Amino acid sequence: MQVIIDRNAGVCPGVDRAIHIIENVLQENRSLTALGPIIHNRYEIDRLQQLGMKTREQSILERNDGFEPLRKEKLFIRTHGVPKRYYEKFETEHLHVIDGTCPIVRRLQKRVERYYENGYQIIIVGKAKHPEVIGLLGHCDDRGIVILDESDFDKIDLNKKSVLISQTTISQQKFFDIKEKLSPLMNDLDIVDTTCKHINKRRDHLMEFSKNVDVVLVVGGKTSSNTGVLYGICSQANPRSYRIESAGEIRRNWFHEEDIVGITGGASTPHWQLELVREYLQKYSPLRGYNK
């Protein structure tokens, strides 16, 4: 069995930037507290916590006394970003904050603000409970409308001037599908494709990569929207695609002795995790009955 790693896999620029910021702060022997899980990858979070990073649920900021225990801590805003009201509170409460918001997400937040201030109805293609979407809603007074498919169109005022945007990690094809169905129903609709270009560029390569191997292992967090999108692309190109968080989930009946196995990962999956999966396959090949 031959095992290869997708050369284009690895964390996206926004996640890479956030991880480097955290590592640099921790290397200077400073404390750092992340507001919520920095990425949808529990193994990378565990690694950073071992270096000294702490994590507090972002919901602590909604409590009346939420800021009191944070005054002596250095806070880190995760890649998904936070609602605008948090920035205002950080300033008034004189809290020390390092902003790790993905630059692409930050620009999108500003765009939402501008459209909202100009009287537009904000329509977001995304998952309502996703932290990025919660942050975007917080830049339009939580009055944006979140949709995921055609069944959500009844939430929209079709007669109001509107802008259609998306959560950055939503499938570009999903955004296009919704755009095609919604556009004929509205007379005044701005459409801005805000899906992540880094992820979109990977699509064609990933399709080709998946077709040229026998089995694809997509490594990423269970709650990672991006990993789900990439897994969908791989599955479309190769039905023998499997989504895993770690090597321990690999099963013997996925493989044949002569298979070429391709390993790829989501935008929150660092190369060290992909290497662990490759080492597992090479050292403890499922074909030897190690993991039934």
CB 220 within 8 A of CB 36: no
Instruction: Judge whether 39 and 268 are in contact, CB under 8 Å.
Output: yes
User: Among 88, 132, 249, 258, which one carries the catalytic annotation?
Assistant: 132
> What single-letter amino acid sits at 63?
R
5 close to 263: Cβ distance less than 8 angstroms: yes
Distance CA 230, CA 113 (A): 30
Task: For helices 13-27 and 42-50, give the axis angle rounded to 10 degrees.
Answer: 20
Is position 57 annotated as part of the catalytic site?
A: no
CA-nearest of 145, 140, 147, 135 to 118 is: 140
Q: Which tokens belong to 244? A: 């895993």
Q: Which residues are the active-site residues?
A: 132
